[in-house]
Amino acid sequence: MKSWRDELQELVVEKLDMEQMTEDSTIINVIDEVLISQKTKKYLPLSLRFRYRKELFDSLRRLDILSEVSDDPDVTEIMVNGPNHIFVERNGKIEEFEGNFSSQKKLEDIIQQMASYANRRVNEANPIVDTRLKDGSRVNIVLPPIALDGPVVTIRRFTKEPISMEQLIRWGSISREAADFLKIMVICGYNIFISGGTGSGKTTFLGALAEYIPSEQRVITIEDSAELRLVGIKNLVRMETRMANLEGNYEVTIRDLIRNALRQRPDRIIVGEIRSKEAFDMLNAIICTI
């Protein structure tokens, strides 16, 4: 049986489809129209109207129940284990979130929305996908039948402002001497590999290390899912892989992008992650530039 909130959402969606509205402000206006219309057949106090307005908007344009934790700057990781089990990492500690999705279908709708941000495709035939959100958060999605207890979503969130090397030094993550040594290595153009376990801060450290790249150089970044945030580099080219379409065509891999980057007159090539055959192309590129 549909909840009254689900009925409201259906009315909003019908109106949006009919009028082909896309702007956030227009969607909010439609939600307000539905909330005060006779179709709702229920009086709503102002406080409840504001609550439903936010919930409906989050459901249509944001991440539904996850919007609350995604707005929390202290949350660094969001873990969804099916529609009824959500965990967050806040200030380094994992805790269970009290909210849940209204149904598995709603979670699946949000997953499709997440995938669409970076033009990714996720379905039963392609059940494992890495993507990103508009704010740069990294997302990993695993669908049934691979995930046995419902869709699994892991969202790695980043700070709004990139973390600098000075901050890492103040936090004791790296010594001043080591930072000064690495600065010399970067300026001199040495090849540097960064490795570490999941959540160990590889991307954060790479972003901080990139501060030392001379601002006049041409930098090309290559990633599966774009998440690097480099500041102070004007001649910056950012490239991202593309999955194959339903027919298996038009895939663009890390290997393709590395080979192409060599023809784009780079001073620096930054590859976000190397896991398989692209390691050969990366080593070949390094040898060719020595």
Range(s) of the domain holding residue 41: 4-61
* CA pair distance 239, 244, nearest whole angstrom: 16
In terms of domains, do 272 and 196 share one? Answer: yes
Q: Which of 114, 134, 156 is the last residue of a domain?
A: 156
Question: pLDDT higher for 272 or 182?
Answer: 182
Q: How confident is the model at residue 1 (pLDDT cuts 50, 70, 90)?
A: very low
Q: Which of 106, 130, 156 is the last residue of a domain?
A: 156
In terms of domains, do 205 and 112 share one? Answer: no
Q: Give me the CATH number covering residue 216.
A: 3.40.50.300
pLDDT per residue over 23-61, tens digit each? 666 666 666 677 766 555 566 676 667 666 766 666 666
Q: What is the pTM of this model?
A: 0.68
Number of domains making up the chain: 3
